[in-house]
Structure 1
């Protein structure tokens, strides 16, 4: 899987092309075996049709299963960014409401923290950069929590408790988003999908070889459709590959909200 993952990292289109070629090879092998069996006249066509139909039905089930898994992972990442950005915004507003020097320091640190979290989501495949951003996140969390602890000790009241809860939720959301960004398609499910694809194309070729009929256009169209679906599944399931990337827009909106500050109007 590492080899295929390397190809996918370079180009998701190249991975799709390789998969399409592999299906064509499997299909031609199936056609060759089917024609050889036809020459021997040892295979009943009715039984072959039932088996091929069952394999295609199972293939459809596996595609649906993996597509559902990939879409769920993509939704988790997208929802996670929104939840974390909202949590950061809530913590920032509460820090601004407290208004003490330490609370203002917390608000400033949260503004830096938001930029770091946005960079983490859009970091791509650069492992060194991802590790550096995780370390920076941990350092900011430690500093922010130090200020929160000082506020709670100096002013043990519901206001400081509310700020502490908001900061705690912010840190929890970052952990959840990190897990979502690390979750990928399990290798067993990936190889099951690839194996079922190759076996299904080979079985279709075998049946066509037995019948002595060639449907190259329809076969290529079927393989192309399978390839597109599989590439989309891989794209959805991989957090840092392809075109279905998690957007950092919620963080950018939160940063825009910071620019307005908090203006306390005069008492009526």
Structure 2
């Protein structure tokens, strides 16, 4: 189940990326002035610093590539799960025709409520408490649907229909757990902290290396910080697609549209 406190992840992501941007600019300037101070003392900037910077940026690029790739894979998996759930609900709904006519209408209404509940879960992901309440509503509907189906197919002439009806309903219920786990699956926090720390270290070393020149071009410092911060934000946005610029809104509409066909 979903756990945690309600929070605006978009705001958190923006604050983290702004902190990264200003931190990189600050450390780049600090590195530059530290290097200039070293030169004024008559010392030289060690040649090895260039190799260190190259290695640090290579490591940063590798981590960003893996993190971005993983984030997009999870994003695509969540999208596919919504489609699979819509298909499972639709298949189970069609097989309600196998039941007695008097039992079909209440079941069809509960299926419509179920599809809406599953669609609204995505809409409420920014509020953990509301999302948990929606999951509880889904569980209540599952129990009601299951008991109604068993009661409707209890007559001897309808019991063989259970072989056709119960498996898709079971699949429809199982995918709830699969989607819930997928929603909560993200990289461990230390990975993001490592990316953050390496980006700051790269900025500081770049500024230190640039101190060999008397003129410190702030444009490139700001450009580097902006690009890294934006990529970091994009990764967070893909990881939490409900809260930022990237979303699964269009795919989630499939469940609402499915509910409309059940009227």
> Is this a same-fold pair by TM over 0.5?
yes
The answer for the alignment partner of 1:29 in structure 2 is 30
Task: Report the alpha carbon displacement of residue 124 of structure 1 after superposing the two structures with TM.
Answer: 3.5
Relative distance call for 1:239 and 1:182 in structure 2 (3 A) is: farther
1:220-231 alignment runs, 5 A limit: 220-231=222-233
Task: Name stretches of at least 5 consecutive residues in structure 1 with no aligned partner.
Answer: 260-268
CA separation in 1, counterparts of 2:113 and 2:7? 33
Structure 1 CA distance for aligned equivalents of residues 46 and 206 of structure 2:
13
How far apart in 2 are the matches of 1:75 and 1:14?
A: 26
Aligned partner (choices 205, 208, 214) of residue 206 of structure 1: 208
- The structure-2 alpha-carbon separation of the partners of 1:71 and 1:172, relative to structure 1 and needing over 3 Å to count, comes to same
Q: Tell me whether 1:149 sits opposite 2:150 in the alignment.
A: yes
Summarize the Cα distance change of 1:28–1:6 in structure 2 as closer, same or farther, 3 Å threshold: farther
Query: What is the CA distance between 1:45 and its match in structure 2?
Result: 4.0
**Offset from partner CA, 1:75-107 (integer Å, 9 cap, x none):** 121111111111111111111343443343322
| Selected match of 1:250 from 227, 250, 254 | 254
- Listed as ranges, the gaps of 5+ residues in structure 2 are 1-5
* Residue aligning to 1:83: 84
Deviation at 1:14, TM superposition (A): 4.2
Name the SS of the counterpart of 2:159 in structure 1: coil
Quote the offset at 1:128 in angstroms. 1.8
Tell whether the 8 Å contact from 2:20 to 2:200 is kept in structure 1 after alignment: no
Q: CA RMSD in A?
A: 2.1
TM-score, L = length of structure 2: 0.88
Q: 2:87 & 2:33 partners in 1: Cα distance?
A: 59
In 1, Cα distance between the equivalents of 2:199 and 2:153? 59
Give aligned pairs, total. Answer: 254
Q: How many angstroms apart in 2 are the aligned matches of 1:37 and 1:210?
A: 10
Structure 1 window deviating more from structure 2 (120-129 vs 222-231): it is 120-129
